[in-house]
């Protein structure tokens, strides 16, 4: 299907008011998640934000994202200096009709919501673990005094 047709059909079926569409691209606000959708004529690209890396345990969380990249049709990315994880999914426009578009978008939004929730849940756990590590393994400064 043509991209513009897909988007206008979607907006009509779901009575989406807050839809911005230009030729070849659209942005939808779905329950506070802004999903951008871009077509290059052959491929649809969905993207949305997950959130900022956690202040504690960022490397561990990044490992989780990398592992998830291996098992999902969507993948995570973080642009240099961006401080924000985004998730991207690409699918062939040739294979997409209205029903497939709805299903793919719903699956994508659910995936974004899941990872936003995981990130939210991860923050306090990682912070508590870091505080516990600090109390169990006190570090010493260059002056020989314990750092607290």
Closest distance of CB 131 from other proteins, Å: 29
CB nearer to other proteins: pick between 64 and 77: 77
Helices (H) and strands (E) in the chain, counts: 3, 8
Closest CA relative to residue 85, chosen from 45, 35, 119, 38: 119
Q: Which helix (H) or strand (E) holds 60?
A: helix 58-71
Binding site for other proteins (CB under 8 A): 20-27, 29, 34-36, 38-40, 43, 45, 47-49, 77, 79-84, 86, 88
* CB closer to other proteins out of 21 and 64: 21
Instruction: Report, in Å, the least distance between residue 35 CB and other proteins.
Output: 7
Quote the least distance from Cβ 36 to other proteins, whole Å.
Answer: 5
């Amino acid at each position: 299907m043509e991209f513009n047709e897909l988007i206008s059909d979607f907006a009509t079926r779901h009575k989406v008011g807050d839809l911005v569409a230009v030729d070849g691209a659209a942005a939808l606000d779905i329950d506070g998640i802004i999903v951008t959708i871009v077509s290059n004529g052959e491929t649809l690209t969905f993207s949305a934000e997950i959130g900022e890396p956690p202040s504690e345990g960022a490397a561990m969380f990044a490992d989780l994202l990398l592992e998830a990249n291996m098992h999902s049709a969507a993948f995570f990315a973080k642009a240099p200096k961006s401080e924000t994880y985004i998730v991207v999914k690409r699918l062939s426009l040739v294979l997409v009709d209205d029903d497939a578009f709805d299903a793919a978008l719903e699956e994508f939004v659910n995936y974004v919501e899941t990872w936003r929730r995981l990130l939210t849940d991860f923050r306090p756990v990682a912070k508590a673990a870091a505080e516990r590590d600090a109390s169990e393994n006190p570090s010493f400064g260059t002056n020989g005094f314990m750092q607290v």
